[in-house]
Amino acid sequence: MASHERTLEASASPDRVWRIWSDVSTWPGWNPDVLAVAIEGPFVSGARGQMTTKAGGTHDITLRDVDPGRSFELETSPIPLGRFHFACRVQPAGEDASTISQSITIRGPLGPLYSAMMGPRIAQGFEPILSGLKAAAEAEAAP
């Protein structure tokens, strides 16, 4: 299955990036696509919630493979016969620096077709999302 990804360097520690990324209440402040998001309970694998986006309305979400301080996957089904799997990662990139990345894999009966048609465009939309996360983390890092 094809995955479509974007990566960005940030002048903030992975811990700082993770603190913001794993606090869904902050997402509407730095993610230009998110209007609202809430999960039931802590930010752990299996947590469920809902996310409202500008383009897609409100969808159920599930967190998968949460590795605290490093990565998580968000799963949702905004289209018929397709499941979006967003993989989000932060890695050290030197002292007080991080590499942040987000990718999408579209699964399901029509996953390959949707991936070919929509994957590159969706991944292009990760650029302002990652830029917003970077700006939030770097602003928090400023004295």
At 33-91, the pLDDT tens digits run 999 999 999 999 999 999 999 987 899 999 999 999 999 999 999 888 899 999 999 99
Residue 143 forms part of a structural domain:
no
Question: In the predicted model, what is the mean pLDDT of the chain?
Answer: 94
* Mean pLDDT value of segment 1-27: 94
Instruction: Count Cβ atoms below 10 Å from residue 22 Cβ, excluding itself.
Output: 18
Bridge-based pairing state of the strands 3-10 and 48-53: unpaired
| pLDDT of the residue at 71 | 98
79-100: string of b/e by CB count within 10 Å (b at 16+)?
beebbbbbbbbbeeeeeeebbb
Residue 82 forms part of a structural domain:
yes
Residue 55 forms part of a structural domain:
yes
Domain total of the chain: 1
| pLDDT of the residue at 142 | 62
Residue 142 forms part of a structural domain:
no
| pLDDT of the residue at 2 | 81
User: Rounded to whole angstroms, how far apart are CA atoms 16 and 28?
Assistant: 18
User: Rounded to whole angstroms, how far apart are CA atoms 52 and 35?
Assistant: 5
* Mean pLDDT value of segment 98-116: 94
User: Rounded to whole angstroms, how far apart are CA atoms 70 and 41?
Assistant: 19
pLDDT of residue 138 exceeding 70, the answer is yes
- 122: domain CATH number? 3.30.530.20
Residue span of the structural domain in which 100 resides: 3-137
Q: Contact at 8 Å (CB) between 27 and 44?
A: no
| pLDDT of the residue at 1 | 65
- Residue at 8: amino acid letter: L
Residue 40 forms part of a structural domain:
yes
- Which residues are paired to 14 by β-bridges? none
- Which pair of tokens denotes residue 79? 């289209």
Residue 75 forms part of a structural domain:
yes
